[in-house]
Amino acid sequence: MDQHDDIAIAEFTMDDYPVVHVLWQRGDLWMRPSDGPEATILKLTRDPGLFLVARTGDGRVVGTVMGGWDGRRAYVYHLAVAPERRRQGIADALMDELEERFRGLGAVKAKLQILVENETSKAFFAQRGYLLETDCEPWGKELVAGGAPPTR
Ligand SMILES: CC(C)(COP(=O)(O)OP(=O)(O)OC[C@H]1O[C@@H](n2cnc3c(N)ncnc32)[C@H](O)[C@@H]1OP(=O)(O)O)[C@@H](O)C(=O)NCCC(=O)NCCS
């Protein structure tokens, strides 16, 4: 029996938001204005079916990932698993389902950003076949106040 056999992958609903927000924080993910409840509703409306959670048999959310599809590229955001449930294949199960849904939408490539010091995330995505791409540098502009790195 795999260690995550008690886990089912399901679609996120806003009822999950408080628990998922705590999971993001416990995972030390960089919280931005786009992680508030209103922005999360907007995201859910934009990409229904790409925001996934991993639930235990009793309904507890122990993992999450958010996908984005803009019609050209697929993006992976905020993959996180509860610290006490890591190394049990839960993130792989979430990513298997998300990548399958990306393919179903017609996506041919998935992309993501990993913070420079996040060696765990690099090891996780490397074993899934993701590669560091050095031909382009990520550029961006804050369109609203409060999104800049010092608040991390
Ligand atoms: C990254 C993260 C989501 C992985 O979740 P997980 O459920 O523990 O991952 P899995 O059990 O599915 O791991 C699958 C494989 O990835 C690799 N891996 C996962 N965690 C690893 C670690 N800490 N060190 C080295 N390799 C690791 C291993 O090859 C692992 O297989 P194995 O356990 O048989 O060796 C989890 O550590 C986490 O929530 N981290 C904090 C949030 C974060 O950094 N998210 C990514 C943002 S870009």
Does residue 86 or residue 146 have the better pLDDT?
A: 86
* Å from CA of 24 to ligand 1 middle: 14
pLDDT at 23: 96
d(CA 61, CA 145): 31
Ligand 1 neighbours by CB, cut-off 6 Å: 27, 29, 79-81, 86-92, 114, 118, 120-121, 123-124, 127
Q: What CATH number does the domain located at 8-151 have?
A: 3.40.630.30
Asked if 94 and 63 count as a contact pair (C-beta separation under 8 A), the reply is yes
| pLDDT above 70: percentage of residues in the chain | 94
Minimum-distance ligand 1 atom for the alpha carbon of 95: 12
Average pLDDT over the chain reads 92
57-102 residue pLDDT tens:
999 999 999 999 999 999 999 999 999 999 999 999 999 999 999 9
